[in-house]
Amino acid sequence: MERHDWFWTNTFLRAAWLGFGISFPVFLLLATHICKFSIKDCLKSHTRQAAVFGGAALLLAGMLWTVAPARFHAMMKIENLMQTGTLAHRLKFYRASVHLFKQTPLFGYGLWSYRNLVYEAQAEINRFDPDYFKDHPDPKPRRVHSEYLEVLNDGGMVAAAALLVFFLTVARHGWRVVRSRAVLQTERILAATAFAALSAIMVTSIFFFSFRIISTLVMTVLMLAVMEAVYLRNEGLVAETRGRKWSFSIYLIPVLVLILFGVIWFRGYRPFRGEMAYFKYKNAVAQKDAALAETKILEAIAYDPDSTTYNLDAGFLYLEILRDYVKAGPFIEKAVIKFNGDFAKWAVYHARGEVKYRLGSLFEARDAYKSALYYYPEFLPSRTMLAKVEKVFQEEDTITLKLK
């Protein structure tokens, strides 16, 4: 694992442990309240059993620590757990997120907006603060690393308020179930478990993008559903009923089937086939089989024409391996136009500059390199190529260059 990946993985683990460290005591307090027992009194009355189980737990933990890889030992060192270096990096992300939020505070920019617009935000910040990119090891963020800020960027205050009302309503219902003595004890424990799990997720979301992870999102919805279902059942708000039949209901079935098929085809099957073709393209490149690589990357683009990744890789294939600069141009241009945050934006503009430079369009190449440096002034390849182009301008007559 590279240093960068290890750095952020350690941060994710700390965010998860923070959520667990807060939610587990909450669950214990709720469980003791529901079951009416004291942990302290229980330990006193079962001292021997507690000592045996405690010793066995320590022995098991020691054995696991012994067989754990060296990387895990390094990760768990106190100096690594207590380091605050990632906080400075997160503040860079947060600052860009707040900048975007200020532009459209009410409704936001739409789903996945941060990964697409963070480069414009960083460039604007850098105009007023030239030191913004200094000591910034990850200037191509795809997440804010705070779910709450991502919600504000995606949907603004309107979406944040709607989600907050929904969450507080369900959490309040779960809390009423936990406190109600009229509800079965098992159901109260179930609601307490869901309440504690949601507490962990919401705390972790301060420093993590929880709802961008499918498994976490499913777990969140499940915990909310558990609390609400128990509440509705015990409040008598749900009952078995027979739905009304409509005369045209039979015709809705084929319509729904067609809609479902369309969703699966365009959002599931075609992207999956594109990923499979792209995987074969990467293998072909690794094996230096240029002909197969060309076939597979074009196949991937046929399945997903707007993919920044596929178009940019096709451009690089023609640019660096096949040396067909005319064919490389349209793919690079499409990667610029259809940019979706898969790559750093300056890398896409630098690729455009490379194509224009090799085709002899030095004015367009200069503009592309300047655009790359606008988004990331510290990008050395663009700075080097821009200096090279400027040197050509100084050595040759401008009119001659235009004639070329």
Condensed to tens digits (0 to 9), the pLDDT of residues 194-219 reads: 999 999 999 989 888 888 888 888 89
Range of lowest pLDDT (67-71, 125-129, 147-151, 366-370): 67-71
| Domain-embedded: residue 130 | yes
| Domain-embedded: residue 40 | no
What per-residue confidence (pLDDT) applies to 244? 73
Same domain, 289 and 353: no
Given pLDDT bands bounded at 50, 70 and 90, which one contains residue 1? very low
**DSSP characters for 375-404?**
H-TT-HHHHHHHHHHHHHHHHS-HHHHHH-
**DSSP characters for 93-106?**
HHHHHHHHHHHSTT
Mean pLDDT is highest, among 59-68, 133-142, 222-231, 236-245, for 222-231
Range of lowest pLDDT (157-161, 230-234, 317-321, 338-342): 338-342
Query: Averaged over 215-234, what is the pLDDT?
Result: 91
Is the per-residue pLDDT at 9 higher than 80?
no
Q: Identify the domain boundary among 187, 208, 233.
A: 233
Query: Averaged over 376-391, what is the pLDDT?
Result: 93
Q: Identify the domain boundary among 233, 256, 284.
A: 233
Same domain, 253 and 124: no
Range of lowest pLDDT (67-76, 281-290, 334-343): 67-76
What per-residue confidence (pLDDT) applies to 2? 42
Q: Which two tokens stand for residue 122?
A: 């960083």
What per-residue confidence (pLDDT) applies to 83? 58
Our measurement of the distance from residue 25's CA atom to the centroid of its chain's CA atoms, rounded to an integer in Å, reads 29
Query: Averaged over 156-165, what is the pLDDT?
Result: 95
Given pLDDT bands bounded at 50, 70 and 90, which one contains residue 379? very high
Query: Averaged over 315-328, what is the pLDDT?
Result: 93
Q: Report the SS3 class of residue 37.
A: coil
Domain count, the chain: 3
**DSSP characters for 309-326?**
HHHHHHHHIIIIIS--HH
What per-residue confidence (pLDDT) applies to 397? 60
What per-residue confidence (pLDDT) applies to 95? 92
What per-residue confidence (pLDDT) applies to 3? 46
The domain of 365 spans 344-404
CA distance 222 to 194: 8
Same domain, 259 and 283: yes
What per-residue confidence (pLDDT) applies to 79? 60
CA angle 144, 148, 223 (to 5 degrees): 120
What per-residue confidence (pLDDT) applies to 187? 93
| Domain-embedded: residue 7 | no
The three-state DSSP-derived secondary structure of 142-157 is: CCCCCHHHHHHHHHHH
212 compared with 165, residue with greater pLDDT: 165
Same domain, 202 and 303: no
What per-residue confidence (pLDDT) applies to 84? 57
What per-residue confidence (pLDDT) applies to 400? 56
Burial call 36-47: b when 16+ CB within 10 Å, e when fewer: eeeeeeeeeeee
Q: What's the whole-number average pLDDT of the chain? A: 87
Same domain, 353 and 404: yes
Same domain, 176 and 306: no
| Domain-embedded: residue 99 | yes
Q: Which two tokens stand for residue 216?
A: 């976490």
Percent of the chain with pLDDT over 70: 91
| Domain-embedded: residue 13 | no
Mean pLDDT is highest, among 3-7, 19-23, 231-235, 280-284, for 280-284
Q: Which residues contact 102 (CB under 8 A, 6 or more apart)?
A: none
Query: In 3D, which of 87, 89, 96, 97 has the Cα closest to residue 129?
Result: 96
Q: What is the identity of the amino acid at 125?
A: I
Condensed to tens digits (0 to 9), the pLDDT of residues 95-110 reads: 999 999 999 999 999 9
| Domain-embedded: residue 367 | yes
Burial call 195-229: b when 16+ CB within 10 Å, e when fewer: bbbbbbbbbbbebbbbbeeeebeebbeebbebbbb
CA distance 394 to 99: 39
| Domain-embedded: residue 65 | no
What per-residue confidence (pLDDT) applies to 195? 94
Same domain, 119 and 149: yes
What per-residue confidence (pLDDT) applies to 157? 96
Same domain, 102 and 148: yes
Query: Averaged over 213-238, what is the pLDDT?
Result: 89
Same domain, 203 and 263: no
| Domain-embedded: residue 179 | yes
The three-state DSSP-derived secondary structure of 261-313 is: HHHHHHHHHHHHHHHHHHHHHHHHHHCCCHHHHHHHHHHHHHHCCCCHHHHHH
Q: State the pTM of this model.
A: 0.79
Our measurement of the distance from residue 366's CA atom to the centroid of its chain's CA atoms, rounded to an integer in Å, reads 33
Same domain, 164 and 216: yes
Same domain, 177 and 266: no
Same domain, 193 and 167: yes
Q: Identify the domain boundary among 281, 298, 329.
A: 329
